[in-house]
């Protein structure tokens, strides 16, 4: 087993949060000039291009899988997660869209129960309830601040949970490179019809941002894997929520969005609930072998 290096693992996790947050800001910046379906299509097209070197070194047999159904569910829900997230970003503050997407871990017990038909311990539902109280506070207690786009942002969290559970299930038998390839391919094919329907000329000034949004997925996957390589999941997972802080700073700097006191309290509640959910779900993994296995199989790729 590789010697644990917590500072290095935390540094990689922080870098992951920075890249993910800045990619969200880039998407929001260009969303008024580039339709969201086109942004999503460009993202997965770039991801497939970045996988070409891997594909050229492999035979067709290396792509053979007996779990295409699981790949389809994981691919479609991963695509829906990003599609809903980018749609929400175009209409609501960056920090709110980012936080609503980060409700994914709260939905995991529900997804495990619905999809995997596993019995979920009663204690796992507590963080979910706590988190949704926080979401209601973000959307304002009297609902005056709520919009359909907040609900779209929340559905991105639900689809993220499906993606997380699907990735975890596939990783028991499938190599990560195959999971990534089918995810990118399925998501690209899902994106194509929507992009064709909404296609319009792409301004040249947006191209660097589109390239960054597309490349950010591969970058965050690599950084996140490095973080799990150097330290435990229990250390890495809480750092992910720094992405909400970075998104808040970017939203304030770029668009002047400053959440009110109630929204700040709601954000704190959602983050606390997410951390509690991660803690509860990782409790059985007390042995070194279990923790090592968890490090090798990050489950938040979306």
Q: How does pLDDT run across 144-194, given as a tens digit for each residue? A: 656 788 889 999 999 988 888 888 788 778 888 888 889 999 999 999 999
- Assess if residue 199 is contained within a domain: yes
- Assess if residue 240 is contained within a domain: yes
Q: What is the pLDDT of residue 291?
A: 40
- Assess if residue 302 is contained within a domain: no
**Sorting pLDDT into bands at 50, 70 and 90, what band is 296?**
very low
Determine the Cα–Cα distance for residues 265 and 72; give it in Å rounded to an integer.
38
- Assess if residue 1 is contained within a domain: no
- Assess if residue 161 is contained within a domain: yes
Q: How many CB atoms lie within 10 A of CB 144?
A: 7
**pTM flag (> 0.85):** no
Determine the Cα–Cα distance for residues 17 and 182; give it in Å rounded to an integer.
24
For 258-275, b/e burial (b = at least 16 CB within 10 A) is ebeeebeebbebbbebbb
- Assess if residue 301 is contained within a domain: no
Domain that holds residue 19: 6-296
- Assess if residue 157 is contained within a domain: yes
């Amino acid at each position: 087993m590789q010697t644990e290096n917590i500072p290095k693992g935390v540094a990689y996790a922080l870098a992951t949060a920075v890249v993910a947050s800045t990619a969200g800001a880039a998407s929001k910046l260009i969303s008024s000039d580039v339709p969201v379906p086109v942004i999503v299509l460009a993202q997965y097209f770039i991801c497939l291009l970045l996988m070409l070197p891997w594909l050229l070194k492999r035979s067709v047999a290396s792509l053979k899988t007996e779990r295409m159904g699981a790949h389809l569910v994981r691919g479609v829900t991963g695509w829906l997660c990003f599609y809903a997230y980018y749609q929400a970003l175009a209409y609501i503050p960056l920090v709110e869209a980012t936080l609503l997407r980060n409700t994914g871990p709260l939905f995991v017990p529900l997804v495990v129960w619905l999809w995997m038909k596993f019995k979920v311990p009663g204690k796992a539902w507590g963080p979910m309830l706590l988190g949704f109280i926080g979401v209601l506070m973000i959307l304002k207690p009297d609902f005056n601040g709520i919009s359909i786009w907040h609900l779209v942002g929340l559905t991105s969290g639900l689809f993220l949970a499906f993606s997380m559970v699907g990735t975890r299930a596939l990783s028991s038998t499938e190599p990560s490179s195959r999971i990534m390839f089918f995810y990118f391919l399925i998501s690209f094919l899902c994106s194509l019809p929507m992009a064709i329907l909404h296609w319009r000329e792409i301004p040249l000034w947006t191209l660097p941002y589109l390239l960054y949004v597309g490349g950010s997925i591969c970058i965050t996957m690599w950084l996140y894997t490095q973080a799990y390589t150097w330290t435990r999941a229990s250390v890495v997972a809480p750092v992910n929520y720094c992405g909400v802080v970075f998104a808040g700073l970017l939203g304030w700097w770029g668009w002047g969005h400053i959440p009110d006191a109630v929204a700040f309290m709601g954000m704190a509640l959602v983050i606390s609930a997410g951390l509690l959910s991660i803690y509860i779900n990782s409790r059985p993994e007390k042995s070194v072998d279990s923790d090592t296995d968890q490090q090798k199989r990050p489950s938040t790729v979306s």
